Chains A and B, each alone.
Chain A
Amino acid sequence: MRKSFLVLALIYGMMLAGAAYWQLYSDLDESPANPRYYLMFRQERGPIFDGCGRTLAFSAAEDGVYVRCYAAPSLSHVVGYFHERYGITGLERLYQEELSQGRSLFTTLDLELQKRAEELLQGVNGAVVALRPATGEVLALVSSPWVDGSALDENWPDYLADVRSPFLNRATQGLYPPGSTVKPIVYWAAAALGRVDDETSWSDPGVLNLPGGMISNAGGRAHGQISIAEALAYSSNVVFAELAVDLEEQLLKCFRLFGLGQQIDFELGNLEGFVPAGIASPYHAAQLGIGQGELLVTPLQMAQAAAALANGGILMRPYLVKELRGGLRLRQITRPQVVQELLPKSAANTVRKAMALAAREGTAQTHLSGSLDYAGKTGTAQTGRSAADHAWFIGFAPVDAPQVAVAVVIEHGGAGAAAAAPVGAEIMLKALQMSE
Chain B
Amino acid sequence: MGLLYRTWFEFTGWAAALVLWLFILQGQVIWWQPAALWAVFVVLWFLTTRLGGDPGALPLAAVLVFCGWVFLTRLDPALAEGHSYGILLGGAAFCFGLLVPWTRLSLGRLWAWAALALLATTAVLGESAGGAKAWLNLWGLRFQPVELARIFLVFYLGDEIHRGGNKWEPLLYLTSFCLILAWQRDLGPAVLVFLVFCWMWLQLSFSWGKLLGLTAAVLVGFYSAFRLFPHVESRVLAWLKPWHYLDSKGYQVLQGLFALRAGGVVGQGLGEGLVHVIPQGHTDYLFAIIGEEFGFLGISALLLCYLGLAFWAVRIVDRLEGRERLIGLGLTLLLHVQVFLVVGGILRLFPFTGLTLPLVSFGSTSLVAQLWMLGIIARLGCRGGEE
Chain A interface (Cβ within 8 Å of chain B)? 1-2, 4-5, 8-9, 11-12, 14-16, 18-24, 26, 28-29, 31, 33-36, 39
Contact = CB atoms under 8 A, between A and B. Distances in A.
B239 to A, nearest CB: 13
Contacts of B113: none
A28 B303 contact: no
A1 B314 contact: yes
Given A2-B318, A11-B340, A24-B296, A39 B274 contact: yes
Interface of B: 199, 203, 243, 246, 254-255, 257-258, 260-265, 274, 277, 291, 295-296, 299-300, 303, 306-307, 310-311, 314, 317-318, 325, 329, 336, 339-340, 343-344, 347-349
B317 to A, nearest CB: 6
Given A14-B349, A24-B265, A28-B258, A33 B344 contact: no
Given A15-B343, A19-B296, A28-B261, A9 B291 contact: no
A33 B246 contact: yes
A36 B262 contact: yes
Nearest to A9: B307
Contacts of A20: 296
B300 A18 contact: no
Contact of B307 (A12, A14, A18, A28): A12
Nearest to B206: A3
Nearest to B287: A19
A34 B261 CA distance: 10
Contacts of B291: 19, 23
Q: Which of B203, B295, B349 has the most CB of A within 10 A?
A: B349
Among A2, A18, A22, chain B packs the most CB atoms within 10 A around the CB of A22
B327 to A, nearest CB: 13
B289 to A, nearest CB: 13
Contacts of B307: 8-9, 12
A5 B243 CA distance: 36
B335 to A, nearest CB: 10
Nearest to B295: A23
Contacts of A15: 303, 339-340, 343-344, 347, 349
B310 A18 contact: no
Contacts of B296: 19-20, 23-24
17 contacts: A5-B314, A8-B336, A12-B306, A15-B344, A15-B349, A16-B303, A18-B344, A19-B296, A19-B300, A20-B296, A22-B257, A23-B296, A26-B257, A28-B258, A31-B258, A33-B254, A36-B274
Contacts of A39: 274
A145 B213 CA distance: 70
Given A15-B343, A22-B257, A28-B261, A5 B310 contact: yes
B261 A29 contact: yes
A111 B269 CA distance: 39
A9 B310 CA distance: 8
Contact of A4 (B264, B277, B314): B314
Given A12-B303, A15-B343, A15-B347, A23 B265 contact: yes
Contacts of B348: 18, 22
B340 A24 contact: no
Given A19-B296, A22-B257, A1 B310 contact: no
A23 B268 CA distance: 12
Contacts of B303: 12, 15-16, 19
Contacts of A1: 203, 314, 317-318, 325, 329
Contacts of B349: 14-15, 18
Contacts of A9: 307, 310
Given A4-B199, A16-B303, A22-B257, 5 more contacts: A15-B303, A16-B299, A31-B258, A33-B258, A35-B274
